[in-house]
Amino acid sequence: MPDLTAAFFARNTTSVPEPMLQQTAAANTDANEAFMKGTGPTDVWLDSPVTSYIKQGSMAVDTPAHKKLCIQHEGEVYWSHKEVLHCIMANGQRKGVPPPHARADLVKRAHEQNGHFGIRRTTALLLPHYWWAGMGLNVRHMVNKCAVCDKVNAAFNSSTQQLYPLPIQGIFYRWGVDLAGPFNPISDSGNRYVW
Question: What are the Cα distances from residue 132, in Å, to 16, 68, 163?
Answer: 19, 23, 52
Provide φ and ψ at 37, rounded to 5°: -80, -5
CA-based torsion, 66, 54, 37, 98: positive or negative: positive
The predicted structure's pLDDT at residue 40? 43
Contact 62/69 with Cβ under 8 angstroms?
no
In a domain, 170, yes or no: no
Number of Cα atoms under 13 Å in the Cβ half of residue 74: 22
- pLDDT at 192 > cutoff 80: yes
In this prediction, residue 109 carries a pLDDT of: 93
State pLDDT tens for residues 14-44: 444 555 445 545 544 554 444 333 334 578 8
Report the distance separating Cα 167 and Cα 19, nearest Å: 83
Which of 37, 49, 99, 102 has the alpha carbon at shortest distance from 74?
49
Q: Is residue 65 part of a domain?
A: yes
What gap in Å lies between CA 187 and CA 135, rounded to an integer? 65
Contact between residue 127 and residue 117 where contact means Cβ atoms under 8 Å apart? no
44 within domain boundaries: yes
Mean pLDDT of all residues in 162-174 = 85
Residue 54 lies in a domain: yes
Looking at residue 139, its pLDDT comes to 93
Domains: count for the chain: 1
Q: Is residue 110 part of a domain?
A: no
Owning domain of residue 59: 14-97
Could you tell me if 12 and 86 are in contact, meaning their C-beta atoms sit under 8 angstroms apart?
Answer: yes
Residue 166 lies in a domain: no
Specify if 191 maps to a domain: no
> What is this structure's pTM?
0.54
57 phi and psi angles, rounded to 5 deg? 80, 10
What would the mean pLDDT of 72-82 be, rounded to a whole number?
A: 83
93 within a domain of the structure (yes/no): yes
pLDDT for the residue numbered 104: 92
CA proximity to 111, closest of 69, 153, 143? 143
For the segment 82-98, what is each residue's pLDDT rounded down to a tens digit?
878 888 888 889 899 99
